[in-house]
C-alpha cells in the first residue's frame, strides 16, 4: 500500500473569504491551483451571509462544530447541525447562510467536471474506496484500518489516498464518531475552468 497523505487542519494557514464572513483552510486541491477539479476545505463561518457562486461546481457541506446553520439554496431551506447528513447542492445557485447560535466550523467538498461525494462513516464497517482517489476526514481522532494495517488519524484531519487501496474501516477513539469517506473520479485529461477559493 502506498503511504497515504495526512493533512491536519491545524497545519493549514487560513484564508479570509472574499465577503468577509469567515475563513477557509484548503486541505486539498487537485490539480493544484485555480483549475482544480476537486477542492476540500474546512471553513469557519463567523457571520450570516451569502456563499459565493461557483458555476459548474457540485458542492457538499457538513457541519463539524457549533450549533449549525440554516441554508437557503435557490430558495429552498435546509437546517444543518453536526448530526445532519452531508448536503449536496449546486454551486451555480444563490445560497444564503444563517448561523443558528454562533459561529460554526464546516467541511466543504467542491467538485468540478468530475463525479464524487461524501459518505458518512459507519464505525468499524468496511467501505470500498470509490473513484480514482479517495480519503477520510474525521472530526475526532481514531484508527483507520487499511489492508490489515492500522493508521492513526488525528482529529480534524484528512487521510488521503491518490489511488483507492481497497476496503477500509474507521473507528473513533471517542464514543461518538463523526467522520466521512471522500471520493472522486478525477479526469487527468480535463481542463476545468479557472476558479478562486471562497466561502
Closest CA to 158 of 144, 145, 177: 144
- Three-state SS for 10-57 is HHCCCEECCCCCEEEEEEEEECCCCCCCEEEEEEEECCCEECCCCCCE
* HSE-CB of 142 using CA atoms within 13 angstroms: 26
pLDDT tens, the chain, 199 aa long: 678 999 999 999 999 887 677 899 999 999 988 889 999 999 999 999 988 888 999 999 999 999 999 999 999 999 999 999 999 999 999 999 999 989 999 999 999 999 999 999 998 899 998 899 999 999 999 999 999 899 999 999 999 999 999 999 999 887 778 999 999 999 887 644 433 344 4
Q: pLDDT value at position 197?
A: 40
Distance of alpha carbon 72 from alpha carbon 8, whole angstroms: 30
- Asked which of 112, 134, 164 is the last residue of a domain, the reply is 112
CATH number, residue 158: 2.60.120.10
Kindly state whether residues 97 and 127 are assigned to the same domain.
Answer: no
Respond yes or no on whether the N-terminal peptide bond of residue 199 is cis (omega within 30° of 0): no
Kindly state whether residues 107 and 119 are assigned to the same domain.
Answer: no
Range of the domain at 70: 13-112
Distance of alpha carbon 5 from alpha carbon 18, whole angstroms: 29
Please, are residues 132 and 148 in contact by the beta-carbon 8 Å criterion?
A: no
* pTM flag (> 0.75): yes
Kindly state whether residues 106 and 139 are assigned to the same domain.
Answer: no
Amino acid at each position: 500500500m502506498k503511504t497515504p497523505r495526512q493533512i491536519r487542519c491545524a497545519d493549514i494557514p487560513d484564508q479570509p473569504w472574499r465577503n468577509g464572513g469567515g475563513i477557509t483552510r484548503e486541505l486539498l486541491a487537485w490539480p493544484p491551483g485555480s483549475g482544480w477539479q476537486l477542492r476540500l476545505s474546512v471553513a469557519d463561518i463567523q457571520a450570516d451571509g451569502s456563499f459565493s457562486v461557483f458555476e459548474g461546481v457540485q458542492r457538499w457541506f457538513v457541519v463539524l462544530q457549533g450549533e449549525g446553520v440554516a441554508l437557503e439554496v435557490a430558495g429552498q431551506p435546509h437546517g444543518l447541525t453536526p448530526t445532519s447528513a452531508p448536503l449536496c447542492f449546486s454551486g451555480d445557485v444563490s445560497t444564503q447562510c444563517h448561523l443558528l447560535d454562533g459561529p460554526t466550523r464546516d467541511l466543504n467538498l467542491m467538485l468540478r467536471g468530475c463525479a464524487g461525494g461524501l459518505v458518512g462513516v459507519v464505525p468499524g464497517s468496511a467501505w470500498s474506496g470509490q473513484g480514482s482517489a479517495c480519503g477520510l476526514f474525521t472530526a475526532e481522532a481514531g484508527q483507520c484500518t487499511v489492508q490489515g494495517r492500522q493508521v492513526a488519524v488525528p482529529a480534524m484531519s484528512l487521510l488521503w489516498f491518490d489511488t483507492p487501496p481497497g476496503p477500509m474501516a474507521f473507528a473513533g477513539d471517542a464514543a461518538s464518531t463523526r467522520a466521512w469517506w471522500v471520493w472522486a473520479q478525477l479526469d487527468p485529461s480535463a481542463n476545468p475552468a479557472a476558479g478562486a477559493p471562497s466561502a
